[in-house]
Amino acid sequence: LREAMDAAYEGYKQIVAKNTQLDCTVDQFFNTFLADDAPHSLVSHHEKCGDTDIRKTKWQDNGVSDEFCRRIAYKHSVNIPMGPRFGEAEKTQVMKRFNGHGLIIVSKTWVNDVPLTDSFYVEDCLLVSSNLEGG
């Protein structure tokens, strides 16, 4: 697990939060924020940000041991002169679970219908691991 997490950090130029401890297990974190029916899900975050027409698939087995994927699409407000008011965004997520000890989610987000956004995507990585006490 540690090797996979260290490898996941490589290549990212900006780390928003590292070594933040929460009072929950990896499974509790997943069920609260990441599960298909999570009460504080990414979909609810997009709704609070003003995104509309949000569609998501359920986590599906990716054909690799303990690896799952899903897709989230939504309309995102765009603030550029002479451009569209909304862009269609699509986020793909691939999650690798480590039997209650941790998980890694790599997300890639593309925005369509907005000039020049067809030449890049945004990638982010979420790493969650248990501490020595198992929380």
Q: What is the pLDDT of residues 70-110, one digit of tens each?
A: 999 999 777 777 777 778 899 999 999 998 889 999 999 99
Strand partners, 70: 93
Residue 128 near residue 55 (C-beta atoms within 8 A): no
Which residue, 56, 50, 114, 119, is CA-closest to 80?
114
Letter string b/e over residues 110-124, b meaning 16 or more CB atoms within 10 A of that residue's CB? bbeebeebeeeeeee
Which residue, 44, 42, 30, 53, is CA-closest to 127?
30
Strand partners, 90: 73, 110
Is the pLDDT confidence value at 133 over 80?
no
Residue 43 near residue 49 (C-beta atoms within 8 A): no
Is the pLDDT confidence value at 134 over 60?
no
pLDDT in tens, 30-70: 999 999 999 999 888 888 888 899 999 999 998 888 999 99
Q: Please give the average per-residue pLDDT across 10-33, as a whole number.
A: 82
Is the pLDDT confidence value at 132 over 70?
no
